[in-house]
Amino acid sequence: EGRPMALLRRELARGGGFAWCSRRTARISWIAASAAGSACCLLQTCAALGEHGQGPKAPVAAAAATAAVAGGGGPWAAYLLVSPRRSSLAGVARRADVARLVKLHNGELKGEKGPPETELLRPWRAAHVLDCNSLAAARIAAWRASRSSGVRARLAALRKSCPDGWAAADEGGQPGAVNAADADADPDLAAGLDGLTYARVEFLHPQNASRRTSAVALVDTGSTDCDLRESQIGRLGLPEELAAQYETAAGRTVRAAAFRAEVRVLGRKASVTVNPIDEDKGRCAAGDQSACSGRTAAVHDGEADDDGLETDEAVLGAEALATLGLLVDCRGRRLVEAPAEPLQKLRFVGRRGDEPYVRVEFANPAAPEKHKAVHALVDTGSTDVDLKQRVIDELQLEVDASEGTAQFETSGGVTVEAPVYRALARLLGREQSVRVGPSEEEEDDAEGGDEALLGHDALAALGLLVDCRRRRLLAAPE
């Protein structure tokens, strides 16, 4: 602190690193690193405090806890932790510390609660650990994994990395491009964590409050109703309503039983319709529109199995969110109350009843003059942006070379490979680069079918709050 930059650069040439931050953050980071007995924790703590990178600020306790388990001896490694709730965490640690990091995020270390950002996503397991030749190599490999979206894509990116951090050569014999700056810092918790928004929800029998169960529910504005596992519905003895008719994401019309329940979230309650989750077949059987997009890799003996199927315990849909009056903060991965101060807003447009649609402009990053406004479903239950291939072609979007080919699961449950594109998304005067995947062309496209899907990560990048009660998006304070 207070030393000439030229002197610092000469010292850093012999090893180490730095991050710009406030004096308070520098002091807290130094205290946490000193307590852990390791200087290499310093930048990780600074990053967790939110002043290195663009992630949300984390509590000081979480930063200190992360520092306390890092910095052991031995070789460096890039790791990917996975959760059964469609979430993964990419990072860098000493090889010997990975097991302790898993325990940290599972709240199993004595005297340490673990970061609150990963608490609802427990249990965590190590899906893959890549031993690297150096700290810089581990950072490059972890950065590559963190750039991908979804468990399978991240796992594939890490597995393709070599011990020197570079990706395996492509068909042309050249490794993928990487910026030298990517080796200068570990992915912070915000950048390393990939997942959707979950909330602790209590489901109760509407006439007998003593019959209740608690579940970690996916917050999904693309789903109208709530979902709960069949076994839980049977245990609660929920009263059945008339069978409801649904059109699945694959275009099939199905009839499914519907039940009535009361839900309680953050001290608020609402009467909701609940659909059963078929625990053998996954959410597709319940007729949910985003049903087949939620498969993650199961993990056995420390390695992920791509054929594993994990389902959510429960789903909190748009109607319940509207009744509860809670907003979805994708950047913070949490539910929040409506802010008291007025914020810039964009109202949903009227398409397909009460579903949340907005008008979004997408542009080509290399040629911003090529842009197009489309109707997009606001879907916090999906990760990325989906665009019709004809819109991608019209904008002449370029494939993201750093992503390569990604795996997508179609609405019919078939896994396909498709390129990942980059586009600029513009809403409420904000602009962000977002990942774009091609969506399936449907028969009703000529009649004004859905042109786009605005997923969780794009909403987080743009800093938007989803207000289902007042049918609008709000621009959260930066």
- For 374-442, the DSSP string reads EEEEEETTS-SEEEEHHHHHHHTPPB-TTT-EEEEE-TTS-EEEEE-EEEEEEETTEEEEEEEEEEPP-
pLDDT at residue 57, rounded to an integer: 35
SS3 category, 279: coil
Amino acid at 155: L
- Looking at residue 174, its pLDDT comes to 38
- Supply 141's token pair: 């490999």
Q: How large is the angle between the packed helices 60-69 and 23-36, nearest 10 degrees?
A: 40
Q: Indicate the DSSP class of residue 470.
A: T
**pTM of the full structure:** 0.76
Backbone angles phi, psi at 67, to 5 degrees: -65, -30
pLDDT tens figures, 36-89: 444 545 555 555 554 443 333 333 333 333 433 444 456 999 999 999 988 999
CB 146 within 8 A of CB 79: no
Contact 375, 349 (CB under 8 A): yes
Over residues 245-268, the pLDDT tens digits come to: 666 655 667 777 899 999 999 999
Q: What digits encode the pLDDT tens for the residues 260-304?
A: 999 999 999 999 999 998 776 554 343 343 433 333 333 333 444
Mean pLDDT of 378-388: 93
Beta bridge partners, 426, equal 361, 431
Is the alpha carbon torsion for 248, 253, 259, 262 positive or negative?
positive
